[in-house]
Amino acid sequence: MTVHLEVTADGVGTLRLDRPPLNALDIALQDRLRALAGEIAGREDVRAVVLWGGEKVFAAGADIKEMRAMDHEAMIARGRGLQDAFTAVARIPQPVVAAVTGYALGGGLELALCADVRFAAANARLGQPEILLGLIPGAGGTQRLPRLVGPSRAKDLIFTGRQVTAEEALTIGLVDRVLPAEEVHEAAHAWAARLAAGPAIALRAAKEAVDGGLDAGIDTGLAIERTWFAGLFATADREYGMRSFVEDGPGKADFRTRS
């Protein structure tokens, strides 16, 4: 298998790319990624997700040999499937953190953009080099990148195809933390485990409200927020969380073991 899902007892699911040496994102990997993203969305035992390419590389981009053999007609037929695979990851309702080591280029960066936050190794290199092939990003990069770093910075990266270091990526808001390479996965897992102990429905609501508002505009976003905020008052997590606050003080609730 080119992608694996491993779920630990703390409720963290690791979505691990496994196509050595560089995790090139061929069609088989894309389809497997979409299938596992759909599986995660329906699993109650997966409360947060780590997106991980391994210790040496996140994903160095598309499988260029496979892509080169495709003509215009073939790419029209495949383009939707390519985007759908990445959109499935972006729409995982649980919190998702990308643990980026080594290269995250082209489709690799586009995949990392589908996560809610990104932790990068100090040796990471990120970029959208499609322009150097006479192409543009085709798996969401022209849309998700400017939403994250702003249109001017996104255009700079897309127009030039240049790679940025982890430190520059942190400066422009492309990643959220930079750590030594050997600490990236552990830190990402710890972030995910902390959220896995939180209220699952409220976390899904928060993600949907933020993402939905960014896509649709503030008025629609406020309506989504208002609906979810009121709806959460019907959940057992809300009752437990408020009771824990009153009886034990703030920050003491573990929603995995609520009673």
Is 238 in contact with 199 (CB distance < 8 Å)? yes
Tell me which DSSP letter residue 38 carries.
H
pLDDT band (50, 70, 90) for residue 77:
confident
Q: What is the mean pLDDT of residues 93-122?
A: 98
Cis peptide leading into residue 21 (ω within 30°): yes
Structural domains of the chain, with CATH: 3-196 (3.90.226.10), 200-248 (1.10.12.10)
Q: What is the mean pLDDT of residues 100-105?
A: 98
Q: What is the mean pLDDT of residues 161-170?
A: 98
Catalytic residues: 62, 107, 110, 130
Cis peptide leading into residue 180 (ω within 30°): no
Tell me which DSSP letter residue 16 carries.
E
**Rounded CA Rg of the chain:** 19
pLDDT in tens, 1-51: 899 999 999 999 999 999 999 999 999 999 999 999 999 999 999 999 999
Q: What is the mean pLDDT of residues 137-142?
A: 95
pLDDT at position 164 is: 98
Residue 102, token pair as written in the block? 């080594």
List the end-to-end C-alpha distance of the chain, in Å, as a whole number. Answer: 39
